[in-house]
Structure 1
Amino acid sequence: MLTYLNRLGVNEHIILSAIAIIIGVMVGYGAILFRTLIEGFQHLFFGSSAEDMVQVISGLQWWHVILAPMLGGAIVGPLVHFVFPGSRGHGVPEVMAAVALHGAKMNLKDGIGKMFACSISIGSGGSVGREGPVVHLGATLASWFGKQLNMSTKHMRTMVGCGAAAGIAASFNAPIAGVMFALEVILADYALATFSPIVLSSVIATVIARLHLGDFPAFIVPHYTLVSAWEIPAYVGLGLVCGLTGILFMHTLFKAEDVIGKIAVPRWIKPMFGGMLLGLIALQFPQIMGVGYDTMNKALLEQMIGPTMLMLVFVKILATSLTLGSGFSGGVFTPSLFLGAMVGGAFGTYAHALFPAISAGPGAYTLVGMGAMAAAVLGAPIASILILFELTGDYRIMLALMVASIVATLLINQVYRDSVYTKALRTKNIDLWSGRESGLLRHIPVSAIMKRTFEMIPDSMNIRDLKEKIHRTQEENFLVVNEQGDLKGIVSFQDIRGVAFEQGLEDLVLVRDIATRELITVTPSDNLYDAFRRMGSGNVEQLPVVSEDNRSQVLGIITNHDVIQAYNQALLEREAERELNR
């Protein structure tokens, strides 16, 4: 279609802008539908669609609080397992993988499935967020529309970015943050040609949301400011605490998925048991149910005490890990904001008590904690800072927010080089850092493909005999061993060229005289990714495989060709598995 319109003289940027506007309208109404579904399911499970879950739960019997998430899990489990298997995951990682590896092609069925699964999860009290699934829904809508227009891969990526930006913008009533989230997290591309359509889509989605939901920010944020320059060290400390909390959150989240995944119970039943445990926790801490906007607003308005907020940090980590680990559907964006609010509020309570004259109240630290936690956990410092800027409309607290966000992000990067999104992809053998799915190689040990029959020659062999051996076997590389069979080096055809044609030297020069003794080796337990990197760094096409206990004992060899063949085979097997799960 673009080619046809270009032939008619229509500028490509105008065409893309028009398509971006249409995507903004589609995603804006998609976000409204999603929110309506959440409210409807919450009314079904709890008898009320009010956001204040503490108030809702206070009027229920104890068995009702436990039964609601159990029933939600009993519905979500079979729905995701049998009807919408492609809707698993947090939402955002799947969009990132589609953009980086699959030409931005996504299945609309997966987006619709995730919308229903997540709306049931949140409506029944699941401790997850709605922003990740909205991003996924927006991206799948954009991808579907792009495929109808037969758009190129380059333009498809831009359109998926438009859908993601529109989803964030409509959810938070924050168009600038939506744009930066799409550019920073989804596309990692700030080109002007990409920027313009994404801005239009984000703005249009925001306008649609405001028309139907009102021009209200996601959070009630008073105007806070930096009281004193002496307060900066406190915000550095808050950044460190947010970083440590983010590390704990990520570790617990993925550990819970591993542990629950190993329980010998059918996968589709696990959300029901996860819902039961969640309900038991909610009897004591009802704040952890649902998205938690009401609790975050109370922290921002300084209506919560420090010990309660501190306790909610650990309970929320447990609740979100149980919810997602057991198989509920939802995002981690809002839980990250919740954790940041509780960490910041608790930190600010004690900081203000110790230094009341030079520090702001707990509400300011709550706000900064939200931004710092989201920046570090999601790997999106720019988008997180801008979200808070749009919520406050005031730059005076931005200095503290930037300091805390960068400190928290640096700390998490020191421990995990991943955000929660890229780590989720890495658990599925997808490595976006290297631009290809090198994670496939990380899970294959050298022992799986190494050759156990190989050529070895004694280091006492002369060059004449070596030339004859090369001629007979057509091999170009040989492992060199001593009389005891210990590895002493490697010799290649290139090594003998300097002496092979010198008269009188063929019988005098021995293999030990020309062999390369500085060897690059691997062990059977090393993975193929490390082996492949070592081949590249040493500019060699094969490596000796040696014993871990005795590096002189040769067990086999591994070649460049073997690694590539294993990678291709693993890739084919995974694609076949995906097709079976569809």
Structure 2
Amino acid sequence: MQPHLIPQRLYQWVKSRHFGMSATDPRYALVEACIIGFLSAVAALILKEGIGWLGGWRVALANQFGAIWVLPLVGLSFGYLAGWLIEQTSPTAAGGGITQVKGALARYSVPLSLRVAVVKMIGTILVLGAGLTLGRRAPTVHIGAALAAQLSSWVPTSPEHRRQMIAAGAAAGLAAGFSTPIAGVLFVIEELMRDVSGLTLETAIVASFTGAVVSLVLQSTNLKFPSSLLDLPDISFAVSDIPFYLLLGILAGVLGAFFNRGLLFSLQIQRRLKLPLSWRIGLVGMISGVIVSFLPPFFLDNAGLQGFLVMGELNGRTILLAFIAHFFLTMLAYSSNAPGGLFAPALVLGAALGYLVGDFEHLVTGNGVQSAYALAGMGAFFTAVVRVPVTAIVIVFELNTDFNIVLPLMLSCAVSYIVAESMSRGSLYERMLGDQGIFINATPTAQDFLSTLTAARVMQSNVETLPSNLTLDEVLQAMSTSSHRGFPVMENGKLVGIVTQSDLANLAQHSGQTALREFMTPRPITVQAEAFLSDVLYLLNRYQLSRLPVTEGSKLVGIITRTDIIRIEANQLEGNDGDLNEAMPEPSYIAYQTRAPLAGDGRILLPLVNPDTATSLFRIGAAIATQQNQEIECLQVIKVPKHSDPAQTSVITQHSRQLLQRAERLGRHHQIPVHTQIRVAHDIAQTILDTIRERHINLMILEWKGNTRTPGAVFGHVVDILIRKASCELVLVKLGKRKDAYPQELDKDATWLIPIAGGPNSKRALELLPGLTHLYTRSRSPIIWLCQVFSPAKSAPNYQHLEAIAKGLKEQIDRPVIPLPIRSQSVADAVVHLASAESCDVVMLGVSREGLLEQVIHGNIPKMIAQKVESTVILVRGSLEQSP
């Protein structure tokens, strides 16, 4: 299914370039942020010029034919036209726009598109050109977010990526409107998203910077901030001014809180009237025109009035009149849901209030710099209305760029915020959203679990893949023997495509020798392991897919299907959390971690407990990692009492860090990527299981001391749990009685004993053997005894299978491999006797989960061998998961 807004060729080009979830790659995201910043700057300029032209035309008509006739008529006609346009084409374009963007970023279904942006722009030009005392910066934020949403909808992506692009568009819109790039980013963090994740910051910064720079380039040639608005001289601050700045903060907080209450009350009255939006805006425009026509002439031009107030070119009585008129006219205009914002009115009202306080100080003390009070008042009133003190401080500072204003500005904004919050708590925009049934800070309900569970929690880790060099006949054979209808395609350990039954439907004319890479779907859409299930479901539905590969970086770590999500949904609806409760981790806290490059095809987990044997265990892991091109994850778990919070319990990590740093040095020596982490937890076994899931572990190496003091345990409480529940492959190692028994013994004529029984785990043990023998043999060749125990009751045992395995193994490792059939009633006794007679250094065998636990309970093979053999014993158990 292709997006209806994109032409067919563009859509196919986008798919062929493997955007999709990979579009969240920082490279693509930053390019997209640059485009968003540029478009937002162009939109901001069009908005500014359009409002200026239409407002100038209105003032000229008023001067020519009389304000009492022109202003009400223009307000009525343009307001009605703007409301009608919004009602007929895009109702979402009504209002200031901040609530819509905030709702969309909170993952509510709020339309944001190119249509919204265009209608918002035209409606704002009509309304502000008609003389309503609103601002254009909030609509610019809305337009920037809508343009970003439209742009992100043209490529296959996730809701989370789209959300972050919308935030970047909002930042770019504010930056372009005010020419304040830093404030754009801060407003996104402080009000819209409250999210400081890396990608959000990066995209918001790039989009905001681009929007501000392009806006400056389009308005001037020297890249200097416009000085007509805030070029205020003689900014200073003295200790004697502090009481008056405190007074300014208190007044701004009180008046700002009343302003917000008045806005909310006016909105309620307007909703009760149930008038169409066109008539609401039109009537408010007419009433505003009538009121302004009786005010002094400079009220005709909103932009001119703002300049007069900020620059202090009016006397105190006129400034007070302007403050009162602007206060109520803005409240009236905003309550009509007209497309216009509160940013500029809040700054203008703050400037007027600041000048009044400055006049008061001058009257009392004969001192005071009124321009400084105007700037501080702008930030304080903006803070009281919007409740974003940091953004307010930065906006005013970026507009003036005078460090002398920072301290009085911070003082006034802090006091204003405290006072305003004391009178009416919470953001104005959140309260407006609450009236619409959208609650930003509500606790997620049970139905929101798709937005809290990640793909890594639900995916199947062991994936049945196909190499890209298979032929069509071989692919058909693989599909006929599998219960699955799709397979990821791998090449050199990397995901290069996906093949499904639908790909084979149109291959009747192709030769059976056609290579898989020629008919697979290349560069498939994938999801990252940390993606939420809501994002996964979005992609599955949008592109009509039945499965998605799950990746970590470029590495395939699992696959997730519709069936997996349906299973989780069914469990939730039935009130049976099932696997979710099983996967819920006990409280744990990562106290220390290091990360190496993701350069391997898989990952080996090495829980380190005993510093004396850690090096030997690491070398076993290094042998397997080298053979299979894998990374090593070293884990130290520090257990704390259950009544203690792991995140708040003081622990000493010095010795653990030294041990992990030793492992990192060994990794550099063997040229193997080594990740490390120290976790503080209540339950060691559960923490290891969590690590297996979170870090996508393929194989785990555990040490067993050869005995256990835990009553009822087979190998020990922790090891038994891991044997039963760890989904990855498991290598259980009992080192020889000498602490250096492994791997130093392999530096001489090491003798290996490999009992086989023909099962899959025996085969897996043989696959690991070449790497283990090659890495640590430095002198003469080791001898490998490959034995199979036959029952004496069997008259004619078949030795051909044993000989064939020995021959194949010898070709792989180029070492002496001696096949040895043995007749014995007890497999364990035969293996122990042979290991002792031949002084074998290492005994290695593969066992199933049942063989490793149930057989031990009945006194059978693994534990008896491990206990009675004095040399090193390696037990290999395969993965528990079924391939999807």
Q: Among 175, 179, 188, which residue is 1:173 paired with?
A: 179
What amino acid maps onto 1:134 in structure 2?
A: T
CA contact (8 A) 1:287 1:295 kept: no
Higher RCO (C-alpha under 8 Å, 6+ residues apart): 1
| 1:256 alignment partner in structure 2 | 266
Q: Distance in 1 between matches of 2:374 and 2:21?
A: 55
Matches within 5 A, 1:91-490: 91-102=97-108, 106-214=112-220, 215-217=225-227, 219-263=229-273, 265-285=275-295, 292-357=302-367, 360-434=368-442
Select 2:26's aligned residue among 3, 9, 13.
13
Percent identity among equivalent residues?
A: 26
Q: Is the 8 A contact 2:237 2:408 kept in 1?
A: no
* Count of aligned pairs: 431
Structure 2 SS opposite 1:101: coil
Q: Of 27, 37, 40, which residue of structure 1 is paired with 2:53?
A: 40
Cα distance in 2 for residues equivalent to 1:92 and 1:328: 13
1:69 lines up with 2:79 in the alignment: no
SS in 2 for 1:149: coil
Farther off after superposition, 428-437 or 228-237: 428-437
What letter is aligned with 2:290? L
Shift of 1:104: 8.0
> Residue 370 and residue 292 in structure 1: after superposition, are their counterparts in 2 closer, same or farther (change >3 A)?
farther
- Cα offset, 1:233, TM superposition: 1.7
Q: Which amino acid aligns with 1:89?
A: G
Which whole-Å CA distance do the structure 2 matches of 1:60 and 1:29 have between them?
35
Q: Secondary structure at the match of 2:196?
A: coil
- The structure with the larger Rg is 2
Query: Quick check: 1:236–1:403 contact (8 Å CA) kept in 2?
Result: yes
Cα separation, 1, equivalents of 2:124 and 2:21: 44
Paired residues of 1:46 and 1:124 also in contact (CA < 8 A):
no
C-alpha distance 403-105 of structure 1, shift in aligned 2 (>3 A): same
Q: Structure 2: how far apart are the matches of 1:286 and 1:3?
A: 63
Deviations 1:169-217 (A, max 9, x none): 1111111111211222222112332212211111111122112212414
Question: For 2:179 and 2:359, how far apart are their aligned partners in 1?
Answer: 29
Q: Answer yes or no: is the 8 Å Cα contact 1:107–1:144 preserved in 2.
A: yes
Could you say which structure has the higher helix fraction? 1
Distance 1:309 1:67 in 2: 27
Distance verdict in 2 for CA 1:2–1:411, change over 3 Å: farther
Contact 1:324 1:330 in 2 (8 A): yes
Counterpart-to-counterpart distance in 2, 1:184 and 1:366: 24
Residue 304 of structure 1 and its aligned partner are, at CA, apart by: 1.5
Structure 1 residues 294, 42: CA separation in 2 closer, same or farther (over 3 Å shift)?
closer
- Give 1:98 deviation, angstroms: 0.2
Using the TM superposition, give the Cα deviation of residue 2 of structure 1 relative to its aligned residue in structure 2, in angstroms.
Answer: 10
Q: Distance in 1 between matches of 2:429 and 2:117?
A: 17
AA paired with 2:80? A
Asked if the contact 1:306/1:350 (under 8 Å) is kept, the reply is: no
Indicate how the Cα distance of structure 1 residues 136 and 57 shifts in structure 2: closer, same or farther if over 3 A, else same.
farther
CA shift in 2, pair 1:276/1:103, >3 Å: closer
Whole-Å separation in 2 of the counterparts to 1:245 and 1:306 = 18
**Take 2:22 and 2:433, find their aligned partners in 1: how far apart are those partners?**
42
Distance 1:311 1:59 in 2: 25
TM-score computed with the length of structure 2 as normaliser: 0.46
| Cα 1:8/1:176, change in 2 over 3 Å | closer
After superposition, the C-alpha distances for 1:484-512 in whole angstroms (9 at most, x for unaligned) are: xxxxxxxxxxxxxxxxxxxxxxxxxxxxx
The one-letter code of the counterpart of 2:151 is: F
What residue identity is the alignment partner of 1:297?
G
Gaps in structure 1 of 5+ consecutive residues: 49-55, 439-564, 566-582
Please list the CA deviations of residues 98-121 of structure 1 after superposition, one character each: whole Å capped at 9, or x if unmatched: 001238862332222121111100
8 Å Cα contact 2:172/2:208 also seen in 1: yes
Q: CA deviation at 1:226?
A: 3.6
Give the Å deviation of 1:303.
1.3
> Any conservation in 2 of the 1:307–1:346 contact (CA below 8 Å)?
no
- Given the superposition, is the C-alpha separation of residues 168 and 239 from structure 1 closer, same or farther in structure 2, using an over 3 Å criterion? same
How many Å apart are 1:399 and its aligned residue? 0.6
The letter for the 2-side match of 1:268 is S
Q: Note the residue ranges of structure 2 that are not aligned, 5 or more in a row.
A: 1-13, 447-572, 574-884
Aligned-residue RMSD, C-alpha: 2.9
The Cα offsets for residues 45-80 of structure 1, whole Å up to 9 and x where unpaired, read as 4448xxxxxxx7698442112222122222123222
Q: Deviations over 1:515-549 (max 9, x none)?
A: xxxxxxxxxxxxxxxxxxxxxxxxxxxxxxxxxxx
